[in-house]
Amino acid sequence: MKLITLYITVFFYLFIACNGQTNKSKKAELDMEENETEFLEKILNKEGYVLKQDVFDQKTKSLLGLSTDTLDIGYSNIYINGEESDYVISKKGKFIKLGQDLLQDLDSIEYQVLTQKKALPYISDFICLNKIIFNDDLTSILSIVKNKDLASDIVVLFNYEKNDILIDTAIKNLDQINEQPAYYIKSLLVYNDVNKNNLIREKLLKRIAEKDIYIITSLIDYLMKNDSKIKINEEWKTKCYAQLMNFLLEYDLKENHLDLNDRLGYWQLERLYNHNKQLEKIFSKNKFYDFPLLKEATNDYNVLSSDDRSENNEQNYIIQDPDGYTNLRKEKNTTSEVLQKVKSGEEVDVLDNTGDWWKVKTQEGKTGYIHKSRIKSYNHSVSVLRIYDRSDFNSFSKEIQPKGEVEYVNKVNGWDFIKVDGTVGYIPTEEQKEAFANKPKRTNSFLADDEPELMKKKGFWDNLFG
């Protein structure tokens, strides 16, 4: 019994000692944090950093989606779309800091910066980051573009969109979209502040479309492959699809792409609808989110793809390479420029399968050549028939999967009037489909360079003298 009592007494004193040691350690860390905060405040003030509390509160909410009321007294970790970032924010110091670790040898850093006037890269980046985010300082923007990664974080993760130079720097640094984490892709698509009226980052996405349209196709492709990982409200996710598709369709219109094989938007829309059968219905229910090009392209899809989907044994192609990927080349030879690396298992659209080098289009929308030995085909059985209410492509239509025989009743204006499974309606003949496919697309829009001039209305004196 005495031995047990001794053990309990020793354990109690050890617990008290350890607990006291832990409290001392925490206090020491808080003291270091407070010293660092005061030092960084001093650095910012020396560089003309001025920030009122209400501005700090407003910018923290609008750019980071954070309420300062929820921040800790000391440093608080910054979470972007649920993921912990490499940044912390100081409520007391009213600044954002790069990295979560405390600065080592603070006295030495303070001596170098304040006494020797030495420019340390970390301190310079820290100053620029905060003067951009909270002061909209142009000099800092021009300085930070040399640090492409930090410039990208400011635009993408912190939603900063007030300077096109900074945005363009971030866009140039966008690489390998499919390799990025889900939280980063979400930051490209929607704002951190979920209370905004329009959650979609339309300005940034429009700029991306202007600079590199293939990034837009990559974003759609990423959404299709990682739908469950992108934690966005379904309504806004659908709007994202619509907005991204509209950028592609505007691009086709601007580039005057008349051939279906050249239409990046139509090709991507076809892939999107094949991937998610419900998306077309959602777009239609929401009046295509006021994107007339999306409505028009959907109509084209319904007309032109119905014939393809009614055939059995439809051919599809995937890449198969023992190296895990193959090269998409600009010309038909192994020394030609590599346009893209295509992973094994990814589908490609074969545009021309003559010769040893086949012309293909990748999921990112790039066109080039791949040796036929790296392309394998497989069958995809589908049987679908689209029936129209009237002999008009603009009339209401629906798809059915015929179980019985199709009865051709008569022809009306180049359309077949049919009966099948108790349903009656019209289907276009091959001549009608061909005429529709060759119908010229409009080339004038707010994007076109050759907008026709509006005719000036003649006044009284014009009519009198001609």
Q: What is the pLDDT of residue 460?
A: 37
User: Which residue is associated with the tokens 């996710």?
Assistant: 237
Q: How confident is the model at residue 438 (pLDDT cuts 50, 70, 90)?
A: low
Residue 74 pLDDT > 80: yes
Best-predicted range by mean pLDDT (13-17, 197-201, 413-417): 197-201
CA distance 337 to 118: 46
Residue 18 corresponds to which amino acid?
C
- Partnered with residue 147 across adjacent β-strands are none
Q: How confident is the model at residue 59 (pLDDT cuts 50, 70, 90)?
A: very high
Q: What is the pLDDT of residues 97-156, one digit of tens each?
A: 998 888 888 888 888 888 877 889 999 999 999 999 999 999 999 999 999 999 999 999
Q: What is the pLDDT of residue 8?
A: 54
Residue 454 corresponds to which amino acid?
L
Q: Which of 73, 121, 77 is nearest to 97 (CA)?
A: 77
User: Which residue is associated with the tokens 């889900």?
Assistant: 182
Q: Per-residue pLDDT averaged across 267-288, rounded? A: 89
CB 428 within 8 A of CB 436: yes
Residue 301 pLDDT > 50: yes
Residue 191 pLDDT > 70: yes
CA distance 379 to 363: 19
Residue 383 pLDDT > 70: no
CA distance 88 to 423: 64
Residue 365 pLDDT > 90: no
Tell me which of 283 and 344 has the higher pLDDT: 283
Q: Per-residue pLDDT averaged across 180-205, rounded? A: 93
Residue 401 pLDDT > 80: no
Least confident of 62-66, 106-110, 381-385, 408-412: 381-385
User: What is the strand order of the sheet 423-428 is part of?
Assistant: 397-400, 385-388, 423-428, 415-420, 407-412
Burial of 417 from C-beta contacts in 10 A (0-12 / 13-18 / 19+): middle
Q: What is the pLDDT of residue 83?
A: 87
> Considering the entire predicted model, what is its pTM?
0.68
CA distance 433 to 415: 10
Tell me which of 181 and 135 has the higher pLDDT: 135
Tell me which of 235 and 451 has the higher pLDDT: 235
Q: What is the pLDDT of residues 410-435, one digit of tens each?
A: 777 778 888 887 788 888 887 777 77
Question: Percent of the chain beyond pLDDT 70?
Answer: 84
Residue 462 pLDDT > 90: no
- For residue 435, the Cα-to-chain-centroid distance in whole angstroms is 36
Q: What is the pLDDT of residue 259?
A: 76
Measured in degrees and rounded to the nearest 5, phi and psi for residue 353 equal -110, 30
CA distance 104 to 108: 9
Residue 243 corresponds to which amino acid?
Q
